[in-house]
Amino acid sequence: MAHTETHLQPAEPDLNGLPILAVDDEESNLLLLRVLLHRAGYTNVKGTTDPSEVPELFVKNHPSLVILDLHMPEMDGFELIERLAAMADERRTTPFLVVTADVTEETRRSAISAGASDFLTKPLDRTELLVRVRNLLHIQHLQDRLYGEMPFDGDS
């Protein structure tokens, strides 16, 4: 049986255009993320190396997924997760995929406690990144559809 490379495409075509916000203070890491996502079919990826731009980009683009580094100058990933989670619509949570070179268990626990949905370590494994992105976007897409179809009673 011949080995063929597995091409990890989004789980369904609806995921291709969902907005993704990528944040890493290292331009080369940000470029790698954008290239990997683009090659996998994701067409709506915004990115920045400046954490101070993230709140405005978050409000403007309403991302379905935020991929971010933890250790950045001025505002680290922990602070960003807390600020962005507080800015999110009360009916919609945004998943955060943390990507960091810090492999300590304490950092992993802290990221999850801060609100990260998932955690990857650098250097990135392409397949693992794309599977986790697809899974988080799929869940977000289903939640958005569910909330779009259900009446909301803000008093409950």
pLDDT per position as a tens digit, 20-66: 999 999 999 999 999 999 999 999 999 999 999 999 999 999 999 99
Q: Tokens for 34?
A: 């954008």
Look up the CATH number of the domain holding residue 72.
3.40.50.2300
Q: Report pLDDT for 153.
A: 52
51 found inside a domain: yes
Q: 38: domain range?
A: 14-147
Sign of CA dihedral 87, 90, 91, 96: positive
Q: What average pLDDT does the structure give for the chain?
A: 86
Looking at per-residue pLDDT, the higher value among 8 and 134 belongs to 134
4 found inside a domain: no
Sign of CA dihedral 52, 56, 61, 62: positive
152 found inside a domain: no
Domain count, the chain: 1
52 found inside a domain: yes
Rounded distance, CA 109 to CA 76, Å?
16
Share above pLDDT 90 across residues of the chain, in percent, rounded to a whole number: 67
